[in-house]
Structure 1
């Protein structure tokens, strides 16, 4: 969902400057860090040796163990005459052993590659290589006649299929996986995914609210009710429903953690203010009455000003009460 006033991502790409474009490409690669890549770093600055963004598969960096993302921010498509000088600089650095050969050299541009460069990229690699070498020898397509034998040897040994276009559309798809950055940059609210599954048995982190529920059941039954005593009891279904509510709110917490930092805590704080006076009414004599009053009151909470409002689900409301009980901020049995 795109927030009101925001432009579609591909349109916004064309409103950036060269520095913002490099940062954007780095953000596209960051979701791959820890999986496809061990490290991702933007290097676009003086002395970067023709590497705007470097993504390394494993450290130390090895031959064909990293990818180079070259960011070309132009007002139109990248032509061969724009890119050939970049290639010349790249091969010069390979000849000087500034770094090992990358696995892939990605060309990243907001308007993509022009037809002439695209045709070379999808042609037979040897044809692309021959065209490039001839242009360098002749001093055409933006190149000067300064091809040395050492650099020519590097060019001739290089596999030109390693040069690839990374389209703007593909970059946006990659960037969408970096949800917090995608929201900040484009105003696109990510979709809340399924909530975490409820474990068969309560985990250690559920201990406090589970104990609070068992205390409610024990008071109501007038005898001790522990977890083993729930099976087949009048409280089994209620206990299961409460745990589902807790994990619904947990899903909201996980969804908001990186995209809306601090908002889940604000949600809990507002919920505490909303239900506290109801829970503390002296007319409630039992823990069950307090618990039911709190969960019923929780559904009346309105969060229109919260960025979480459009992502709330009904079970989040009572689930928030269980989260508050789990931190000791709400108690049922006096």
Structure 2
């Protein structure tokens, strides 16, 4: 499992990515850092009451080995003490999260609430009392002892690394980090009959290229009916443009921000020299550039396996929309 090889910095980055997937099930997700975190690492809040409402705690640890009871006792102690003090209401669930998960002994305790409580109380004097705060030892006595005795220890639960990875799968960072490719793409329908506002740029540039080729005025799409090959070419280019737009939308929430733009950049650099070469006319340049785009290898790009011929050609027209490609000089 790749995550066990991460150093603390890489684990922290991975947890940051994973947290983003939790936002789909919570009103808000916050990460607490620093020495005064009161035992809270990553908190998922069910409502606007935050720590005073329904919330879950994800205690994230990065160790070479699985988490042991000795590691867990102080963290559980902090949760008990600070909830007793009224800093927050106890979470609905408290998960221990680590690259190698929880060890056998701790897992047995976490799946047996009475045994967990008894073991914690027994370990308290030596393993917990002086590890909750740096200013005093917290003894398990009086009202606090009664609070601990009545506490619902079933909230403390193990979370396997596999569960974390499955939640991470919902983030746009999963594919770049672990590979595996995108899910199958839905079929792309035919372009709508009417041109959309987002098509004005590349359509105007194509009409200019056709006029450059025919040496006649081509003011609008209706004029293309005089040249059947050009009319057919335009229909194919528009279909390609919509394929590229569909790919943009399809990957939007599945890959890291900027990944699709990176694909466009790969295409641009793959066709730039062809676009700069001398061509008899703009139409010839369009055909040469879109062919160069089709031939551009994308094996090293995260979206390479998902980019079809129509996508590659359509990206050229997206680039024309952005004035990065021009067909006439």
Query: Is it true that 1:48 corresponds to 2:47 in the alignment?
Result: no
Give the corresponding residue for 2:99: 110
Deviation at 1:94, TM superposition (A): 0.4
Q: Distance in 2 between matches of 1:45 and 1:82?
A: 18
Query: Across the two proteins, how many residue pairs are aligned to each other?
Result: 311
Unaligned runs of 5+ in 2: 130-137
Q: Deviations over 1:134-190 (max 9, x none)?
A: 33554469455921333234334443332221111111222233333763xx46374
Q: Calculate the TM-score normalised by the size of structure 2.
A: 0.74
Find the partner of 2:185 among 185, 188, 194: 194
Deviation at 1:50, TM superposition (A): 0.8
Q: Distance in 2 between matches of 1:25 and 1:180?
A: 11
**Secondary structure of 1:317's partner?**
helix
CA 1:190 to 1:43, structure 2 compared with 1: closer, same or farther past 3 Å? Answer: farther
Q: Distance in 1 between matches of 2:97 and 2:151?
A: 20
Aligned residue runs from structure 1 range 229-248, under 5 A: 234=228, 238-248=233-243
Do the aligned partners of 1:42 and 1:54 also contact (CA within 8 Å) in 2? yes
Give the corresponding residue for 1:135: 119
Do the aligned partners of 1:37 and 1:55 also contact (CA within 8 Å) in 2? yes
Q: Deviations over 1:228-266 (max 9, x none)?
A: 8889x9566544432232234345656576264863353
Aligned residue runs from structure 1 range 1-334, under 5 A: 10=1, 12-18=2-8, 20-33=10-23, 35-123=24-112, 128=113, 130-139=114-123, 142-143=127-128, 146-180=139-173, 183=176, 186=177, 188=179, 190-191=181-182, 194=185, 197=188, 200=192, 201-214=194-207, 226=220, 234=228, 238-250=233-245, 255=251, 258=257, 260=259, 263-278=262-277, 280-281=278-279, 283-284=280-281, 287-302=282-297, 312-332=307-327
**Secondary structure of 1:69's partner?**
strand
Deviation at 1:273, TM superposition (A): 1.9
Q: Calculate the TM-score normalised by the size of structure 1.
A: 0.73
Alpha-carbon RMSD across the aligned residues, in angstroms, is: 3.9
